[in-house]
Structures are given as structure tokens and as C-alpha cells.
């Protein structure tokens, strides 16, 4: 029996992986993100067009060159995850606030009219569009340099729309009862916003 046992060969065992055997992408992420299904890169591994903030060292998405791949990154963990979800949540919230104002707030205000609702809606939707365009930038910034550059312009456009949406209520209530001044300043703000928008996009 002992001779049979001695004659048996031990089954080969695969060597345990060491830190040196791990790929760079596996080591690039913090411990909580190393099981992410997408490759994550360190700052020094990024192409030049993706380098934006040298103080963020890890968990960058690799360039996807794919619309589907970039959109799918919404469901993975990386260093843009919080940016994406916080802006998407904000966009949804401010899309719903005009409905809440119309159904819950407006009926309780005896002196309010539909112009008040519309002015508040302009502000809320301006914020919502700003959040949505910013979320779009954070989602698609890993696509390619061309797409990232265009999305950055849309991100700036969202800021312009937010400023426009915030200025309209200010003018409306600041010159309440003065329709001529309201029209003048609202037209001025719209013209400035359109000029900035066209200049930014083109």
C-alpha cells in the first residue's frame, strides 16, 4: 500500500498569483473597485486628452470609442460614478418640481397666476437641463477626444441655460408690475444667452 502511495504523483497545482502577476488595470483601482467589470486606469496610463485633474490618481475609464460602452459605464464603479448619478438625480428632481408647483403650491396661493408657475418652471427646467447635460458629459467623456470635446461644450451650455433660467424669475419679480422693463430685460438676457451658446458651440 505504501509503495502504491509513493508511486502516485501529486496533482500539479497552479501557483498562487502574486501582486507582480496582476495586470496594471487590476492594480490601478482602489480595493473596492478592483472587481469592476471594466478596465480602470491610473493617471499615468491615460492618453493626453483624458488628463484633466492630476490630483485624481486612479479609477479612470479606458477610452471606449463606443457609444454603447460609454453608456454601459453608468452601471460600473469608477471615479465618475458619483458625478453621473448625482447629476441624473438632480435632473430628475428638477423635472418633477414644476409639476409639484402646479399641483400643490399654485392652488394654495390666492394671488398667484399661471405666469408665476411658468416663471418657476423656467428656473426648474433650466436647472434640470444643466444637470442632464453635465451628466451626459460625465458619461461620454471616455468615448473619444472628439466626443469628449463636444460634450464639454454641452456642459458649458448647460451652465449658460442655468444662468438664463435663474435670471428670468429675478427680472420678472424684480420688475413686477412693469411689463415694459420685464420685456426689455428678458429679451436682453435671452439675446446674451443665445450669443454665448452659439459662440460656445461653433
Other Cβ atoms closer than 10 A to 182: 18
Q: How many CA atoms lie within 13 A of 37 on its CB side?
A: 6
- The DSSP bridge partners found for residue 61 are 40
| Reported pTM | 0.76
Task: Please check if 138 is assigned to a binding site.
Answer: yes
Characterize the bridge pairing of strands 40-41 and 60-61: antiparallel
pLDDT at 10 over 50: no
pLDDT at 184 over 80: yes
Q: Give first-to-last CA distance, the chain, whole Å.
A: 86
pLDDT of the residue at 201: 60
Q: Which three cell numbers stand for residue 186?
A: 428678458
- Considering Cα of 188, then 189, then 190, then 195, what sign does the dihedral take? positive
pLDDT of the residue at 198: 73
Contact by Cβ (8 Å): 73, 61: yes
The proportion of the chain whose per-residue pLDDT surpasses 70, expressed as a percent, equals 80
State which H helix or E strand residue 42 sits in: none
Q: Give residue-wise pLDDT tens across range 121-164.
A: 999 999 999 999 999 999 999 999 999 999 999 999 999 899 98
pLDDT of the residue at 202: 56
What is the greatest pairwise CA distance in the chain? 108
pLDDT of the residue at 37: 63
DSSP code at position 108: G
pLDDT of the residue at 113: 87
Lowest mean pLDDT of 34-48, 104-118, 133-147, 149-163, name the range. Answer: 34-48
Contact by Cβ (8 Å): 194, 202: no
Q: In terms of C-beta density within 10 A (0-12 exposed, 13-18 middle, 19 or more buried), how is residue 5 classed?
A: exposed
Choice between 2 and 68, residue whose per-residue pLDDT is larger: 68
> Which residues, at least 6 apart from 40, have a Cβ–Cβ distance to it below 8 Å?
25, 28, 29, 33, 58, 59, 60, 61, 62, 78
Choice between 10 and 79, residue whose per-residue pLDDT is larger: 79
Amino acid at each position: 500500500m505504501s509503495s502504491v502511495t509513493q508511486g502516485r504523483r501529486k496533482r500539479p497545482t497552479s501557483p498562487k498569483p502574486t501582486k507582480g502577476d496582476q495586470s496594471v488595470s487590476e492594480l490601478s483601482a482602489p480595493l473596492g473597485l478592483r472587481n469592476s467589470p471594466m478596465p480602470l486606469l491610473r493617471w499615468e496610463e491615460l492618453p493626453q486628452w483624458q488628463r484633466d485633474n492630476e490630483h485624481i490618481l486612479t479609477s479612470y475609464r479606458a477610452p471606449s470609442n463606443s457609444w454603447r460602452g460609454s453608456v454601459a459605464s453608468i452601471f460600473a464603479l469608477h471615479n465618475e460614478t458619483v458625478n453621473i448619478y448625482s447629476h441624473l438625480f438632480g435632473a430628475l428632481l428638477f423635472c418633477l418640481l414644476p409639476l409639484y408647483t402646479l399641483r400643490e403650491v399654485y392652488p394654495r396661493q390666492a394671488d398667484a397666476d399661471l405666469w408665476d408657475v411658468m416663471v418657476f418652471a423656467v428656473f426648474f427646467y433650466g436647472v434640470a437641463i444643466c444637470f442632464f447635460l453635465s451628466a451626459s458629459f460625465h458619461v461620454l467623456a471616455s468615448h473619444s477626444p472628439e466626443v469628449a470635446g463636444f460634450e464639454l461644450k454641452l456642459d458649458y451650455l448647460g451652465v449658460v441655460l442655468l444662468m438664463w433660467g435663474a435670471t428670468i424669475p429675478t427680472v420678472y419679480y424684480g420688475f413686477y408690475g412693469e411689463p415694459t422693463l420685464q420685456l426689455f430685460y428678458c429679451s436682453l438676457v435671452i439675446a446674451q444667452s443665445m450669443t454665448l451658446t452659439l459662440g460656445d458651440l461653433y
